[in-house]
A and B are shown apart, each in its own frame.
Chain A
Amino acid sequence: MKTNRKEIKETDFSKFTSEELTDAFVFPADQVLNAKEKKEEEDFWASRRKQFENRTYHQKMYSRLLQLKFQLEDYIDSSQYLETFSFGFFLNEYVSRQEKKDKDFAVEVDVKPAVLSQYINNHRKPTDEFIIRLELHSNGLIPAIHWFKVIQKNKEHEIMTNQKLREEESKHVKNRLGFVY
Chain B
Amino acid sequence: MYVLNKIIGEKKAATITKIDAAEISQINKTRRFDFNWNKEKDFHVYKLTAEDKEEPIGLLSIEDRPQDYALEIRLLAVSKENVGKSQEYSRIAGCLIAFACREAFKKGFGGFVCLKPKTKLEKHYIQQYGLQSTKMYLITEGENSLKLIQEYYEDK
Q: Are B115 and A9 in contact (CB under 8 A)?
A: no
Q: How far is the CB of A31 from chain B (nearest CB, A)?
A: 9
- The reply on B50 being an interface residue by CB < 8 A is no
- The reply on A16 being an interface residue by CB < 8 A is yes
Q: Are B83 and A20 in contact (CB under 8 A)?
A: yes
A26-B117, A70-B105 as given contacts; A7 in contact with B35, CB under 8 Å: yes
- The reply on B53 being an interface residue by CB < 8 A is no
Number of A-B residue pairs, CB cutoff 8 Å, is 116
Residues of B within 8 A of A (CB-CB), count:
49
Q: Tell me which of A24, A40, A48, A74 contacts B77 (CB under 8 A).
A: A24
- The reply on B90 being an interface residue by CB < 8 A is yes
A10-B31, A49-B68 as given contacts; A63 in contact with B121, CB under 8 Å: no
- The reply on B44 being an interface residue by CB < 8 A is no
Q: Are B117 and A45 in contact (CB under 8 A)?
A: no
A24-B77, A24-B78, A26-B115 as given contacts; A8 in contact with B34, CB under 8 Å: yes
Interface flags for A5-27 (1: CB within 8 Å of B; 0: not) read 11111110001101111111111
Q: How far is the CB of A5 from chain B (nearest CB, A)?
A: 6
Interface SS, B side: mixed
Chain A neighbourhood of B68, CB < 8 A: 45, 48-49
- Closest chain A residue to B65, Cβ basis: A45
Query: How far is A9 from B77 in the complex, measured between Cα atoms in Å?
Result: 13
- Closest chain B residue to A74, Cβ basis: B106
Q: Tell me which of A16, A26, A48 contacts B84 (CB under 8 A).
A: A16
Interface flags for A54-80 (1: CB within 8 Å of B; 0: not) read 010001000110110011001000000
- Closest chain B residue to A27, Cβ basis: B118
Q: Are B90 and A23 in contact (CB under 8 A)?
A: yes
Q: How far is the CB of B108 from chain A (nearest CB, A)?
A: 5
Q: How far is the CB of A107 from chain B (nearest CB, A)?
A: 28
Q: Are A18 and B124 in contact (CB under 8 A)?
A: yes
Query: How far is A40 from B77 in the complex, measured between Cα atoms in Å?
Result: 27
Closest 6 CB pairs of A and B: A29-B116, A26-B76, A22-B124, A52-B69, A63-B110, A24-B83
